[in-house]
Chains A and B, each alone.
Chain A
Amino acid sequence: MLPLVSLTLFLPLVGAVLILCLPKPTARTVHGIAITSAALTLVGALAMWLQGVSSEGFSQVEELEWMPAIGAAYRVGVDGISLPLVLLSAVLFLVSLIYASSLRDRPRAYVALILLLETAAIGTFTALDGILFYVFFEVSLVSMYFMIAGWGHEERQRAALMFFIYTLLGSLPLLLAILGLYLGSPDPTFDMRAWIANPPLEGAAAMWALIAMLITFAVKIPAIPLHTWLPAAHVQAPTVGSVILAGIMLKFGTYGLVRFALQMTPDAFREAGIVVLFFGVVSAIYGAFAALAQTDLKRLVAYTSVNHMGYVIVGVAAAALTLDPAVRATALDGAVLQMFSHGLVTGALFFLVGMIQERARTREMGEFGGLLKTVPLLGWFFVLAAFASLGLPGLAHFPAEFQIFLATLGTTPIAVIVILGIAIIAGTFLKALRETFMGEPRDRWSEMPDLSPREILAVAPLLVLTVATGVAPSWVLDVIHRTTSALVL
């Protein structure tokens, strides 16, 4: 029996090491190795997908002794909450590397960083050990910092610095919470399965741990008012950085919210649920309004992420608040699917904005007009992605948001006002489409080339999956639902 999870997890790292160890490789070789290892990783993820998950606990668990003296071990495995995110990571990193394959500025370090990030991302989603989780969680951060610092746009060091400090500030409380869970366990262990099966903390200790986790994850998600790093980081990040940042790394926060906050301190979360719900609602609506005011396409997409992640917070809070297992399953189905969908859709949007920026050297909507005529393929791809992002049925966000809102109404009816976000986001994208893609084409951009095959290869898979998830969400939801329907809190 192959250790499928570990193979999938470390394949990118192997690729990265290989690239760093080769003496003076050509850019072609570097990209070739990178794409190959990412493709193999995707194969691994697909194999994991075929293996599937069982309804109780974690599946495909692999364990290796690490520090038995303190109860830490190398433990990985998946359930219905993490498996879709693993698949998402494998897909997004592969297309990111395909997109990055034209890079000639120090490609070695760049793709090595991306591959390192991939291992960190898959590791974060599959880790079943507190320390291991934290290790991957932090490694991702560092790699992202260097990607932004090394290959970002103007003023990038400041943005990256802010991103780094902000997020580090937001990850150390988690460390405290992990230590608390560890020291609170009757038989001290870092095994997350044990923490989930028997939440080790109770009372005030659990509440403090929860608060620490919430701070960490709120920064990462990001939730208002700890979201400031996001637009700054996105504006400065290179395209691939943005795609991975929004597509994968924001999910660390929401994933942590489910895996840690909800599953390990359920009672405290139930008590604090209404506060979390409030912040979720505020995030969603505030993010939507902030997006509406943007004139910079990339910032606009960044703020829609705040909105979409706000829905996830709402979903998780609803799951914590409700006492009805069916409603909880619906809420979590929606929240997890929303993470998955957001990765696909926002990934595609950031790619497309990046493509526009590379062609025009600007992202200001006011500078454009009529791009549907000038670059029809890019334009129509953007239209599709934009409608997916505003939650149109038949596209990936709809089933997720539908379930989240449904569960929210079933739990805290007043919170359903969060649905206003849908209308605001619709207005945001319609405005962007009108100003950028519709109207009279400008002469300035008449020479703009349409998508190259490389670019199509990067975006099209995401859009295909977006449609597939929208039309037949059951291919993902079946996996998610198997776990969420059996979840005991």
Chain B
Amino acid sequence: MNAVLLPILPPLIAALAVLVLRRGGAALVLAGATLSLAGSLWLLTGVVDGQAETLLLPGLPDMPLRLVAGPMTALLSAAVATVATFVLIYAVGYMKRETGQARFYAMMSLFLAAMQALVLAGDWVLLLAAWELIGLCSYLLIGFWFQRPEAANAASRAFLYTRSADLGLYVAIFILIGSVGTSEIAVSLETGDSASTAAGLLLLLAAMGKSAQVPLQDWLMRAMAGPTPVSALLHSATLVAAGAILLIRSAPLLTPEALLAVGLVGGVTTVAAGVIALAERDLKRMLAASTASQYGLMLIAVGAGVPMAALLHLLAHAAIKSTLFLAAGDFQHAREGTGFDQLKGVGRARPWAFAGFALAALALAGIPPLSGFFSKDAVIAAALSGQGAAWLVPFALAGTLLTGAYMARALRLLWQGSGETRAVAGTGWMRAGIWGLAIPAAVLGLAFGPLETMLDLPAPETAGVVAIVLGLVAALAGLALGWLVPVQRLLGPAHPWAESGLVVAGGLTAWVGRPAMAVARGCDRLEDHFYAAALGVGHAALTIARGGQRLEQRLYLAVLGVGRANLVVGRWVRGGDERGIDGLIFALVAGVRALGGRARTLQSGMIHHSLAISAVATAALFVVTLFSASLSF
């Protein structure tokens, strides 16, 4: 067996096994995830020297499926597996009291397998397939509590948003395959300079959907209706990360115009989502908005032409954000909710979770020596170095500032207040999960140097003092503001708007959803017309037939009239006969009377008329034949 399959197959098999066996979900899936982790680490060690492992599988004609493990893909695969493993460990505790565990674990495992396939995909078709499959898995997981209407809605919305944006990926791939002639990603990247701006923008669209960039950010906040481990996995290593991963991998293809667009989308998002996060009244939703904001930072880095910086931030963020979510899930169990007013002071009661949360929060804000400091530093340095720095740097700094602010606000809200809480089952598992990820979140920054050498990607001069200073100042200022100033004062009159998610004129629902439904209803009405028209044709035929019948009846009445006239004539003639008219006429009269009588009793006068018609027709026939004969000479 080819080693490339190692990260994918174990979770896939585990998922199927759970679906079939319907029990032992946690153990099987954990085993699968662990094996996947081991497999990806094995791969990573195999490819550090730049040697790629490749596997071809039968796919579409002339477009085989391809798995490639290069340094970057193997690294991403390891990151995905790490996060997934710890999230699953945590889930054992978190899901203790839930029903439908088999479904949960199977889907999580499938999710992991699909994400591994996406990361390791070496051709566009497989990438697209995996891309869509993680959409399905997130749909099923967000909708895990499908009886709750808000979960059902959130799941539908998440899938619909991402899927609609995925059309960009479809078309981009068609353009790439069309221009390069093969579906192999590596080849596309090599000859990539021929790819058009259109393809780049379409890739961006797809990434915007998955990574919840403005204006497609709304689904991500609603997706919090799912179980918390799902959120953790979704935000850090799978669904949302896929968008950034796509752009990082396809960065060599992007034209300057496309890069600028990527940077701007990222910049707007990091600010807008940061503001939304700041105004949130729910911890998990705040984290979701923060995710969008952080991915905005990554897009800034890609847009600046330094995908390496984006990758570093992606890795750091994966560890940080999963830690944050797992801790939030712990609080959620303790207080039966995630609203900030429910969670007041929960940090005092759940110190281990809070410590992890705080560590990760500081890391995200960019406080040295935690991982976020290094990655954010790289992003700001990238923004400084690239084209459009004048745009990108302010956005990046504003994003950093906002990060500090909302994280500090969250810490304050979680810490202040009474520490009373109830007992939580499965705390051990959850604690293990949280700290398993909190530690990498703290120390990952130390590995960045070796990673850069391993990946051999151009990285900006991270040592740039300007970047460090700017980043630190922004982060510290943010933290201070968030801790000290109440959010209403901070945002001023914009606060209610930010609370509602910065919706512009009703948001996408009003801009896309309602018009689409209106068109649909219009089509439906049109359907009725179509149906009526088709029936109308049938009715028309019947009407014509009835008309013909009426004509026959009229003729019939007319003929009856002729019969009566005969009778009248007969009577008149009989009167004449009585006055002594000769016998010949008498005979004639008798005949006519008989005929008339027949017409009355048997109603057979018709025959005169029909004969007449036939006679006329004979004459007509003669004329026509004469005419057509003369025409032909």
Contact = CB atoms under 8 A, between A and B. Distances in A.
Contact between chain A and chain B defined by CB under 8 Å: yes
Interface of A: 161-162, 165-166, 225, 227-229, 231-232, 286, 289-294, 326, 329-330, 333, 370, 372-373, 387, 390, 392-394, 398-399, 402-403, 405-406, 409-410, 416, 419-420, 422-424, 426-427, 430-431, 433-434, 437-441, 472-474, 477-478, 481, 485
Interface string B106-130: 0000000000000000000100111
Interface in B389-444: none
Report which residue of A289, A291, A292, A390 has the largest number of chain B beta carbons within 10 angstroms of its beta carbon.
A289
- Nearest 6 interchain pairs by C-beta: A393-B129, A438-B152, A293-B524, A292-B520, A293-B520, A409-B174
A426 B156 CA distance: 9
Given A387-B136, A409-B174, A437 B527 contact: no
A440 B130 CA distance: 31
12 contacts: A228-B531, A231-B527, A289-B516, A290-B526, A292-B520, A373-B147, A394-B133, A399-B60, A416-B171, A423-B160, A434-B155, A474-B58
B61 to A, nearest CB: 4
B167 A165 contact: no
Contacts of A392: 132-133, 136
B61 A477 contact: yes
A440 B59 contact: no
B524 A426 contact: no
Given A289-B519, A372-B146, A420-B167, A426 B159 contact: yes
A398 B175 contact: no
Contacts of B178: 406, 409-410
Nearest to B179: A410
Nearest to A227: B530
A291 to B, nearest CB: 8
B521 interface: yes
Contacts of A399: 59-60
Given A290-B524, A439-B146, A439-B147, A423 B164 contact: yes
Contact of B156 (A330, A394, A416, A434): A434
Given A229-B534, A290-B523, A431 B129 contact: no
Contacts of A478: 61
Contacts of A472: 58
- Choose among A330, A392, A422 the residue with the greatest number of B CB atoms under 10 Å from its CB: A392
Nearest to B130: A393
B61 A292 contact: no
B147 A162 contact: no
Given A370-B147, A423-B167, A434-B153, A228 B530 contact: yes
A438 B147 contact: yes
A333 B534 CA distance: 34
B547 interface: no
Contacts of A390: 163
A286 B523 contact: yes
Nearest to A477: B61
Given A292-B516, A437-B146, A430 B160 contact: yes
Contacts of B149: 438-440
Nearest to B541: A165
Identify which of A161, A420, A433 gathers the most chain B CB atoms within 10 Å of its CB: A433
Contacts of B170: 402, 405, 419, 422
Interface in B137-163: 143, 146-147, 149, 151-153, 155-156, 159-160, 163
B535 interface: yes
A419 B132 contact: no
A329 B533 CA distance: 39
Interface in B172-225: 173-175, 177-178
B62 interface: yes
B538 interface: yes
B467 to A, nearest CB: 41
A434 B530 CA distance: 30
A402 B159 contact: no
A52 to B, nearest CB: 16
B150 to A, nearest CB: 10
Interface in B49-79: 58-62
Interface of B: 58-62, 125, 128-133, 136, 143, 146-147, 149, 151-153, 155-156, 159-160, 163-164, 167, 170-171, 173-175, 177-178, 516-517, 519-524, 526-527, 530-531, 533-535, 538
B61 A293 contact: no
A293 B164 CA distance: 18
A225 B534 CA distance: 10
Among B62, B152, B153, B531: residue with most chain A CB under 10 A: B152
B146 A438 contact: yes
A226 to B, nearest CB: 9
Given A162-B534, A330-B61, A485-B61, A439 B527 contact: no
Contact of A289 (B131, B153, B523): B523
Contacts of A431: 156
Tell me which of A229, A330, A393 has the highest count of chain B C-beta atoms within 10 A of its own C-beta.
Answer: A393
Contacts of B160: 423, 426-427, 430
A249 to B, nearest CB: 18
Contacts of B136: 387, 392
Given A165-B538, A410-B178, A474 B59 contact: yes
A101 B534 CA distance: 36
Given A166-B534, A330-B61, A472-B58, A410 B129 contact: no
Nearest to A403: B60
Contacts of A231: 527
Contacts of B527: 228, 231, 290
A330 B60 CA distance: 9
A18 B459 CA distance: 79
A439 B152 contact: yes
Contacts of B163: 390, 422-423, 426
Nearest to A421: B167
B166 to A, nearest CB: 8
A225 B531 CA distance: 10
Contacts of B526: 290
Nearest to B168: A419
B147 A441 contact: yes
A225 B146 CA distance: 38
Nearest to B164: A423
A394 B129 contact: yes
A369 B177 CA distance: 43
B177 to A, nearest CB: 6
A433 B156 contact: yes
B147 A406 contact: no
B174 A410 contact: yes
Given A292-B516, A426-B159, 19 more contacts: A166-B534, A229-B534, A231-B527, A289-B519, A289-B522, A290-B526, A333-B61, A370-B147, A393-B132, A402-B125, A406-B177, A409-B175, A416-B171, A423-B160, A426-B164, A431-B156, A434-B152, A439-B152, A473-B59
B60 A402 contact: yes
Contacts of A290: 520, 523-524, 526-527
B151 to A, nearest CB: 8
Given A229-B534, A433-B156, A434-B156, A481 B523 contact: no
A440 B147 contact: yes
Contacts of A165: 538
Contact of A393 (B61, B128, B156): B128
A294 B524 CA distance: 8
Contacts of B153: 434
B530 to A, nearest CB: 4
A472 B61 CA distance: 11
A352 to B, nearest CB: 17
B174 A405 contact: yes
A406 B159 contact: no
Contacts of A424: 516, 520
Contacts of A393: 128-133
Contact of A430 (B58, B159, B535): B159
Contacts of A426: 159-160, 163-164
B99 to A, nearest CB: 10
